[in-house]
């Protein structure tokens, strides 16, 4: 250790100011100063020292790394557990470090923290926002837990966690327990968990274990909201029971007293099972009062081979729910034919909302650039158009102008006439700079344009 540095900074025992000085020195660009600071901090019981030592364990200078690792080992002391609670963020960062192999040191730290009683003490006062630290402590606890009352309580709490990582670790540890009533109960709890991945893992463990999954549980999970869970349950059921599941799903999807999410799961199950009545059922449910059910019904209709896509897209756009309207955009993006510009205009007037204008603009993005131009210009020419929709139409014209920088599609004669007429009616509603840019764009494609203001010559 540099003696001059020690005299200048003082020993950590000299007080908080001395520790502060050594902490600053540990971040010095000079490797000798960092090493001297690490050696000095090793003698301190200040929790800040441990945090810095864990940082320096990944130092780029080997001598600093070695000194820091030796100093950290000295903190594996029950009397210094409070320091580990405050140093958890630094420990988690070290676990992600890849400069050198830290596995031996990390294993020693995990073995120390996993000692009975240590984990509970380290977790005391841990803020709920410390998600990564909570995960780390739970994973250590689950790895060391036994098939006893405390271990079962730990896993049961984990399965109820709002953190999917913790809940997933809990079900994996539960599946590894010896066959016993508690294992069965934990896996059953997992099958009713908050997360699909946890429910799926619980069901797999039950189906693969000697206990097996009860038919009643499998039938209930056949209408789970997760497709992966439904698939696992269906694969585990016998054909006679699957017939019964189909019948219940068919009856349940018509039962408006059930939650809409459950009815949607039943409809999707019937689709996955390729029930022969699904096409007619989807057509029927597009008029259902629940938005989620209508969405699922339209999804089924749009996915049917040989479906009348233009009709379904138009019905989606005319639906009162934006969720259903967005299905039309998705279908067009995937290759379905976009409605004509005239039909899009009629749909905007039929619904009369800002959302309808937004959907129409998205549909027109997939149409001919000249039909799109006619649509936005016609909308802007309408003085009675509500202000929110008019602003969207202006944004649509600006987006068209940008997209035309990469467009070489020549308008047909009919498109030339229609766009020319729409421009004549709309140009007074367009601000000066944009009006000049659009006029230039139209003229460059042979569309005759006129001027409405004397200021145009100055633009």
pLDDT at position 26: 83
Coil, helix or strand at residue 24: helix
Q: What's the chain's length in residues?
A: 459
Q: CA dist 319 to 282, 302, 448, Å?
A: 15, 15, 39
Coil, helix or strand at residue 367: coil
Q: What is the C-alpha separation between 325 and 312, in angstroms, rounded? A: 11
| DSSP class per residue in 320-356 | S-HHHHHHHHHHHHTTPPPPPHHHHHHHHHHH-SHHH
Nearest to 277 by CA among 309, 250, 308: 250
pLDDT tens, N- to C-terminus, the chain (459 residues): 444 444 444 444 445 556 788 888 888 888 888 888 888 888 888 888 888 999 999 989 899 989 999 989 988 888 887 788 788 888 889 888 888 898 999 999 888 888 777 777 776 545 555 778 888 888 888 877 766 777 788 899 899 999 899 999 999 999 888 877 888 999 999 999 999 999 999 999 998 877 778 999 999 999 999 999 999 999 999 999 999 999 999 999 999 999 999 999 999 999 999 999 999 999 999 999 999 999 999 999 999 998 999 999 989 988 888 899 999 999 999 988 888 888 888 888 887 778 888 889 999 988 899 999 999 999 999 888 888 888 999 999 999 999 998 888 899 999 999 999 999 999 888 888 889 999 998 988 888 876 654 445 444
Structure tokens at 392: 């969207």
CA angle, 439 then 443 then 448, to 5°? 95
Structure tokens at 426: 């709309």
User: Where along the chain do its domains lie?
Assistant: 339-459
Q: CA dist 96 to 68, 123, 357, Å?
A: 17, 21, 48
| DSSP class per residue in 205-229 | HHHHSSS---HHHHHHHTT-SSHHH
Instruction: Decide: residue 143, CB within 10 A, 0-12 exposed, 13-18 middle, 19+ buried.
Output: exposed
Q: Are 307 and 281 within 8 A, CB to CB?
A: no
pLDDT at position 17: 54
Q: Are 113 and 141 within 8 A, CB to CB?
A: no
Tally of CB atoms within 10 A around 73: 15
Structure tokens at 327: 């299905």
Give pLDDT tens digits for 186-216: 999 999 999 999 999 999 999 887 777 899 9
Structure tokens at 300: 């089924």
Q: What is the C-alpha separation between 59 and 64, in angstroms, rounded? A: 6
Nearest to 187 by CA among 166, 209, 216, 165: 209
pLDDT at position 457: 43
Q: What predicted TM-score, i.e. pTM, was given to this entire model?
A: 0.73
Q: What is the C-alpha separation between 315 and 313, in angstroms, rounded? A: 5
With residues binned 3-state (H G I as helix, E B as strand, rest as coil), the percentages for the chain, rounded to 5, are 70, 0, 30
Structure tokens at 384: 């009675």
Q: What is the C-alpha separation between 96 and 58, in angstroms, rounded? A: 10
Q: Are 71 and 109 within 8 A, CB to CB?
A: no
Element (H, E) at 266: helix 260-272
- Only one residue has tokens 């067009």, namely 332
């Amino acid at each position: 250790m540099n003696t001059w540095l020690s005299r200048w900074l003082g020993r950590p025992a000299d007080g908080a100011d001395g520790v502060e000085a050594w902490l600053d020195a540990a971040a010095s660009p000079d490797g000798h100063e960092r090493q001297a600071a690490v050696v000095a901090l090793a003698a301190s019981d200040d929790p800040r020292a441990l945090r810095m030592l864990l940082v320096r364990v990944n130092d780029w200078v080997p001598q600093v790394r070695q000194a820091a690792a030796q100093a950290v080992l000295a903190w594996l002391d029950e009397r210094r557990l409070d320091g580990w609670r405050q140093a958890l963020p630094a420990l988690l960062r070290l676990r992600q470090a890849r400069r050198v192999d830290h596995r031996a040191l990390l294993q020693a730290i995990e073995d120390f923290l996993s000692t009975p009683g240590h984990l509970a003490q380290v977790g005391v006062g841990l803020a709920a926002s410390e998600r990564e630290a909570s995960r780390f402590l739970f994973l250590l606890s689950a790895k060391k837990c036994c098939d006893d009352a405390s271990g079962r309580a730990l896993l049961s709490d984990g399965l109820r966690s709002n953190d999917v990582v913790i809940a997933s670790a809990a079900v994996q540890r539960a599946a590894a327990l010896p066959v016993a009533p508690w294992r069965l109960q934990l896996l059953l709890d997992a099958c009713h968990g908050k997360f699909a991945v946890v429910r799926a893992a619980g069901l797999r463990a039950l189906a693969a274990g000697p206990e097996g999954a009860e038919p009643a549980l499998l039938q209930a999970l056949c209408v789970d909201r997760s497709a992966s869970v439904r698939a696992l349950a269906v694969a585990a059921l016998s054909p006679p029971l699957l017939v019964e599941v189909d019948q219940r799903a068919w009856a349940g999807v018509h039962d408006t007293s059930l939650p809409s999410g459950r009815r949607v799961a039943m409809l999707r199950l019937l689709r996955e099972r390729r029930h022969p009545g699904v096409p007619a059922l989807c057509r029927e449910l597009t008029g259902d009062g629940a938005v989620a059910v209508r969405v699922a019904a339209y999804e089924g209709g749009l996915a049917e081979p040989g479906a009348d896509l233009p009709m379904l897209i138009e019905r989606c756009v005319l639906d009162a729910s934006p969720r259903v309207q967005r299905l039309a955009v998705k279908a067009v993006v995937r290759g379905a034919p976009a409605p004509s510009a005239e039909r899009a205009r009629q749909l905007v007037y039929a619904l009369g909302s800002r959302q309808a204008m937004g959907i129409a603009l998205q549909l027109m993005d997939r149409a001919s650039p000249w039909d799109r131009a006619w649509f936005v210009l016609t909308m802007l020419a309408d003085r009675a158009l509500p202000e929110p929709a008019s602003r969207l139409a202006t944004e649509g014209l600006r987006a068209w102008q940008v997209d035309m920088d990469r467009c070489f599609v020549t308008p047909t004669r009919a498109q030339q006439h229609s766009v020319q007429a729409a421009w004549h009616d709309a140009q007074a509603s367009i601000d000066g700079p944009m009006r000049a840019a659009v006029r230039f764009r139209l003229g460059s494609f042979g569309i005759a344009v006129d001027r409405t203001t004397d200021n145009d010559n100055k633009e």
